[in-house]
């Protein structure tokens, strides 16, 4: 299970709580497969899921990345996911599986476009993980080396993950 702690100002918290509880009251409660009634906590968790992922059947405008490796599956932040849930999620369009080969080497992909494709971004992010210069995890950008102006192409092994400050500093030099 993933547990989250969130901190909001009182008014925002009250608004969010009202949205969750309204959604909960609108949903018909049924016993689960073991014949057990859900707790209020269960129902609130279902309401949050429903509110955040949109109404059932509509696919939201984002994707969930699941890494599938020989030694197990994980979310992008390393949270382990058992095989069963991954198999059940496969038909969902917003779930993407990044399959790792034996050496964990990403497959190269070339594009004439300057901005990397979502697939290329995933491969570079998986390879570099953090800014390759300072190690920070946020403000990450995809830096062309050699420069796009020279190469006129976008290829995963010619992209490096750099945070915006390091990226800017490199180009200023
Ligand atoms: Zn950096």
Which residues, including other chains, have CB under 8 Å from residue 11's CB and lie 6 or more apart?
Answer: none
Residue 169: band (very low, low, confident or very high) from pLDDT cuts 50, 70, 90: very high
169 CA from centroid of ligand 1 (Å): 9
130 CA from centroid of ligand 1 (Å): 8
167 CA from centroid of ligand 1 (Å): 7
149 CA from centroid of ligand 1 (Å): 22
pLDDT in tens, 109-160: 556 678 888 878 888 898 899 999 999 999 999 999 988 888 888 888 889 9
| Residue 57, pLDDT score | 54
Residue 168 has pLDDT above 80, yes or no: yes
pLDDT in tens, 15-33: 888 888 888 888 888 888 8
57 CA from centroid of ligand 1 (Å): 40
Across 38-42, 66-70, 71-75, 164-168, least confident range = 66-70
Query: What's this model's pTM, rounded to 2 decimal places?
Result: 0.45
């Amino acid at each position: 299970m993933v547990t989250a702690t969130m901190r909001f100002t009182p008014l925002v918290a009250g608004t969010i709580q009202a949205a969750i509880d309204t959604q909960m009251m609108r949903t018909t409660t049924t016993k689960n497969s073991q014949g057990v009634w859900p707790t209020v906590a269960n129902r609130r968790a279902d309401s949050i899921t429903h509110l955040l992922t949109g109404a059932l059947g509509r696919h939201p405008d984002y994707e969930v990345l699941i890494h599938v490796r020989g030694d197990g599956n994980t979310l992008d932040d390393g949270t382990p996911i058992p095989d069963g849930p991954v198999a059940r999620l496969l038909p969902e369009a917003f779930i993407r599986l990044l399959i790792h080969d034996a050496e964990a080497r990403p497959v190269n992909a070339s594009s004439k476009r300057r901005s990397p494709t979502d697939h290329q971004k995933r491969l570079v992010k998986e390879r570099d993980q953090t800014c390759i210069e300072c190690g920070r995890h946020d403000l990450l950008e995809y830096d062309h080396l050699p420069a796009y102006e020279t190469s006129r192409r976008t290829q995963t092994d010619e992209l490096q993950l750099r945070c915006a400050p390091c990226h800017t500093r490199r180009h200023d030099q």
